[in-house]
């Protein structure tokens, strides 16, 4: 259905194609299609023009991770966390990045923080044994 989604985005009026909502949808589409460079380029623009939207930061980090690696993606989310200190998904992704790079104690601390921010993450406690 990626083709259908791409066609739907193309049917948007030209004057609306540069709206942040449309660009955000395009980022999600590019991520689903694994077009990481294109997703990262648009997400990078979105975090500059709309830094208060945490989704842009998360999508940028997710895309950049596939292009440049975990270290660069983690740096992006650390900047995002300074702006969005109460967003559990940012803390959770930072925990994941710490884990995949072998920093397990830091991963536990970050995951506990994510759980504190968002109780719906609480189910992870039994799985992760933190």
Q: Is a pLDDT exceeding 80 seen at residue 74? A: yes
Domain that holds residue 122: 85-130
Residue/partner pairs of 72-79 with CB below 8 Å, 24 or more apart: 73/97, 74/98, 74/101
Per-residue DSSP letter, 19: S
pTM confidence score: 0.84
- Co-location of 14 and 55 in the same domain: yes
For the segment 105-120, what is each residue's pLDDT rounded down to a tens digit? 999 999 999 999 987 6
Summarize the confidence of residues 27-37 as an average pLDDT. Answer: 96
Question: Average pLDDT for residues 94-115, to the nearest whole number?
Answer: 97
How many residues comprise the chain? Answer: 130
Domain contains 79:
no
2 and 33, same domain (yes or no) = yes
Q: What is the pLDDT of residue 8?
A: 81
Give tens-digit pLDDT for 40-51. Answer: 999 999 999 999
Has residue 78 been placed in a domain?
no
Examine the domain organization and report whether 103 and 124 are in the same domain. yes
Same domain, 67 and 95: no
Domains identified in the chain, total number? 2
């Amino acid at each position: 259905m990626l083709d259908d989604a791409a066609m739907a985005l193309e049917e948007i009026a030209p004057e609306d194609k540069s709206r942040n909502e449309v660009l955000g949808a395009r980022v999600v589409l590019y991520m689903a299609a694994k077009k990481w460079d294109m997703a990262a380029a648009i997400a990078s623009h979105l975090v500059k023009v709309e830094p208060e939207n945490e989704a842009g930061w998360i999508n940028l980090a997710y895309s950049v991770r596939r292009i440049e690696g975990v270290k660069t993606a983690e740096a992006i989310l650390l900047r995002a966390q300074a702006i969005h200190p109460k967003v559990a998904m940012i803390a959770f992704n930072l925990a994941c990045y710490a884990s995949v790079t072998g920093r397990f104690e830091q991963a536990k601390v970050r995951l506990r923080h994510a759980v504190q921010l968002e109780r719906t993450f609480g189910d992870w406690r039994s799985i992760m044994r933190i």
